[in-house]
Structure 1
Amino acid sequence: MLRPNSGNPCSTHEQKLLDEIVHTYPQPIIVIDNDHRVIIWNKACEKVFGIPAQDVLGTKDQWKTFYPEPRPILADVVLDDDQEQLEQFYPGLHRKSPFIEDAYEVESFFPKLGSNIDRWLYFTAKRLYDEEGHVVGAIESLIDITQRMEAEEEVKQLNDSLSDHSKKLEEANDELKATMLKLANTQKLASLGKLVAGISHELNTPIGNIRTISTALKADTVKIQHQLNSGEMTKSALEDFLNNVLESTDLIEKSTAKTAELIMSCQQISASDNEYERSQLDLRALVEEVLNRQTQGLARSNILVENLIPHDITMNSFAAPIQQIFDNLINNTRMHAFDDQQAGKIKIRAQICEKTITLIFTDTGCGIPTKNFVKVFDPFFTTKFGQGGNGLGLYIIFNLVTGVLGGSLELQSPDNGGFELHITLPTTSPYALTVEDDTYYI
């Protein structure tokens, strides 16, 4: 930043261009020199603060714009590099700018500022240096964020007025936390943090929609109320407002329904009472129990299942997690693999090799694109979200296989299409070091 009349070697054209940029910039800019005297007070400052540049240029009166008594503004504090003053005058408000090196930024409220208007300001200050690296002053730029803060306050008030919705969402969140705790305790999900983050992300969408719609609806209500009070109401304006209200309430209902649907899905996932009781299992018989439970659903889906697991394969493991895996695999096939009324086939095989058993689950459906192989075991990855799918089925399988069962899994791409998953499990599932430990050993 150049000092006026400082004999700077810049050409007159460059000086005029710099002045034009500074004074046409739409946000207030204040520049002080090494003596804390104001050397630039752009036109935006004059407009926003109501103080002509001639009243402050060359003075140390920059404080008068913001405060009733003399005190440093952020540019003064940054110029002096005074951390004590930073804490004294901006306690809990200041932070280093993530965008500008060695700059600080603050958001603060200023009552009766400029034209006697209450304003919220976001301001950033940084030291200025000459070509030799010497400090020559400081610059402070300000942005009026009053509208943003007022909008946030309106949203808060509107949310308060929608107490029923808020209460239901709070109850839903409480239920969700309880469900997540149950998942952690009963299914030993290794990546519960990632799951919670995913659920929070999915909840943020409908909740965010409700807040956005509510804010817009309130703004429209204020507008139509103003038209009504001023006598400027027209039939078309009222019709547009009523149509908007209907559309907004419909979207709010859909968003709350989506939230409830997500929580219901989580509850269903954690509903089975998996106590993880260790026992000697007949693998073929264990899978046959799952198929017997799924008989009606498979028949409705026109899917034939062949249980090709040999009769002589046994393992020392946990029945509930293994059955949960096959329940999820069959449900995934029914939902994703075949079009309506399309006949399909599932084959379940097993191979034993020393201390491991490899389960091979295949179907003749549409398969999974290779590009999605790295995503299918992520929480909430689904191609049918909102159509009965929640993207948690394969994620649960992954955590059960790699967690309590101590195994691994691998997706294959059959030459003739379809879906093929190899699950390798130890013949003796790992033992926890302690009853409450999540670490296992074989």
Structure 2
Amino acid sequence: MSKPVIVCVDDEPAVLDSLRRELSEVFEESYELETAVGGVEAVELVKDLVQDQCNVAVIIADYLMPDLKGDEVLRQVNELSPKTLTVMLTGQAGVDGITNAINTAQLYRYIAKPWQPADLQLTVREALNSYIQEQQLYEYQHQLEQKVQARTRELTQTLQELQETQTELIRSEKMAALGQLVAGVAHEINTPVGNALLAASVLQNETQAFDELYKQGSLKRSTLSGYLETAADSSRLVLSNLDRAAQLIQSFKQVAVDQTSFEKRPFTIIPYINSVLTSLEPHLKATKHQTTVDGDISLKMVSYPGALSQIVTNLVINSTRHAYGPGEQGHLSFSLHQQEEQVILEYADDGCGISESHQAKIFEPFFTTARERGGSGLGLHIVHNIVTQNLRGTIRCESTLGSGSKFILNLPLQITDEGTHASV
């Protein structure tokens, strides 16, 4: 039976014939009409319909019947098919009977005997419209839940892939601050996930309010329209923000790439820095910035030149991207000197400087003031990690708005296998 079913219940066959005739005039083409003589037969009929996976849209039951009263019939039907709308047909039901049906069977309406055919048809039409709207709403929510679950699975899978990448990085000891990286990812995806949770919460609250109105029988078309609009808006927000979170995590996975193996060896610092700057000439030529390196040209280190190369590269690129406006020409300088068993390396630019409120955050992963220009917020974070983890030194920043920025690195002249420092 493919069409939804309307069930009529009464202990008088003449009344059932009248109900079938009057309802058939309006609903026969779209709905199946079933009748049951008495309450027991009605409950068994609904059981069979539910087992056959038929949609029982509305049941109309007389109140005063010898085997089961109408309120008990409707209560049992409500347990078998909670979405079925229940209507009581009564000429003798008291307040207690109607109240019991409302409380135990979610009574939709009651019709007094004798009824007018037009009133009966209007009541059933309204009940059927409510049933259809409830079905459509259920299907819409089910589809939304499936989409959210699918997006959540994708997000979970991406997170798992990120965690696997992080594990590989820990094993290879290429990045010592993976805990900060995880915190950065969590912070970065917090906004879209928070927006998605907020939209889902709004949808849940609206659904509860809608359900209360429905149970009270005071649902209006305007309320339904408003709810459907809210549901549509909330679903769009949930899906778009989960998509954004998935995209962010996918992009952060690119951060977790193997870095070139650092090999420890003795090297002369200034010539090495000059060689790194030479490799950056194609980038610097486009900016017309000037670079200088000052200090003791014979000063040597026993350390990791690859690590120092990455520090120099990141510092220079950070300045060219953030310290100057389009077309501005600046001066980028390196200076170094020995202080006991340390080499003091200072890097400075004469750009726009860094505000005091931002200086405490510049080494945090994913902190950037240029997100709209594609900045990742990882350049100085990587510098900090290499200085403190690979080279076992320290780094700090001094800056004033409008007067440029200076980074002071304290590095050991020699790194031994045990991690102790000695002069060269």
290-299 or 316-325: which moved more?
290-299
Determine which structure has the larger helix proportion and give its number: 2
Q: What is the match of residue 420 of structure 2?
A: 441
Change (3 A) 1:284 1:243: farther
Task: Give the secondary-structure state (helix, strand or coil) at the position aligned to 1:326.
Answer: helix
Q: How does 1:35-434 map to 2 (within 5 A)?
A: 160-186=146-172, 189-214=175-200, 216=202, 245=232, 249=236, 252-253=239-240, 256-257=243-244, 259-268=246-255, 270-308=256-294, 310-413=296-399, 417-431=403-417, 433=418
Q: Is the 8 A contact 1:338 1:365 kept in 2?
A: yes
Q: Is the 8 A contact 1:316 1:429 kept in 2?
A: yes
Task: Give the secondary-structure state (helix, strand or coil) at the position aligned to 2:403.
Answer: coil
Change (3 A) 1:185 1:393: farther
Alpha-carbon distance in structure 2 between the residues aligned to 1:252 and 1:299: 44
Alpha-carbon distance in structure 1 between the residues aligned to 2:363 and 2:403: 20
Change (3 A) 1:213 1:320: farther
Task: Give the secondary-structure state (helix, strand or coil) at the position aligned to 2:326.
Answer: coil
Match for 1:203: what amino acid? I
How far the C-alpha of 1:217 sits from its partner, in A, is 5.5
Deviations, residues 346-400 of structure 1 (Å, cap 9, x unaligned): 1122222342211111111111123433332233333234542333322222222
Q: Is the 8 A contact 2:203 2:234 kept in 1?
A: no
Change (3 A) 1:116 1:315: farther
Larger Rg: 2
How far the C-alpha of 1:405 sits from its partner, in A, is 0.6
Alpha-carbon distance in structure 1 between the residues aligned to 2:393 and 2:263: 18
Change (3 A) 1:161 1:250: closer
Alpha-carbon distance in structure 1 between the residues aligned to 2:341 and 2:141: 60
Calculate the TM-score normalised by the size of structure 1: 0.52
Task: Give the secondary-structure state (helix, strand or coil) at the position aligned to 1:162.
Answer: helix
Q: Is the 8 A contact 1:179 1:267 kept in 2?
A: no
Alpha-carbon distance in structure 2 between the residues aligned to 1:214 and 1:319: 52
Task: Give the secondary-structure state (helix, strand or coil) at the position aligned to 1:340.
Answer: coil
How far the C-alpha of 1:421 sits from its partner, in A, is 0.5
Alpha-carbon distance in structure 2 between the residues aligned to 1:351 and 1:271: 33
How far the C-alpha of 1:224 sits from its partner, in A, is 9.9
Q: Is the 8 A contact 1:155 1:214 kept in 2?
A: no
Q: For structure 2, list consecutive stretches of 5 or more residues without a partner in the other structure.
A: 1-102, 106-139
How far the C-alpha of 1:233 sits from its partner, in A, is 5.1
Q: What is the match of residue 44 of structure 2?
A: none
Q: Is the 8 A contact 1:373 1:411 kept in 2?
A: yes
How far the C-alpha of 1:294 sits from its partner, in A, is 3.3
Task: Give the secondary-structure state (helix, strand or coil) at the position aligned to 1:284.
Answer: helix
Deviations, residues 136-183 of structure 1 (Å, cap 9, x unaligned): xxxxxxxxxxxxxxxxxx999955543432232122212321332344
Alpha-carbon distance in structure 1 between the residues aligned to 2:201 and 2:389: 45
How far the C-alpha of 1:263 sits from its partner, in A, is 4.2
Q: For structure 1, list consecutive stretches of 5 or more residues without a partner in the other structure.
A: 1-114, 118-153, 434-439
Alpha-carbon distance in structure 2 between the residues aligned to 1:198 and 1:156: 34
Q: Is the 8 A contact 1:306 1:346 kept in 2?
A: yes
Q: Is the 8 A contact 2:353 2:401 kept in 1?
A: no
How far the C-alpha of 1:417 sits from its partner, in A, is 1.1
Calculate the TM-score normalised by the size of structure 2: 0.54
Q: What is the match of residue 132 of structure 2?
A: none
The share of aligned pairs that are identical, in percent, is 25
Number of matched pairs: 281
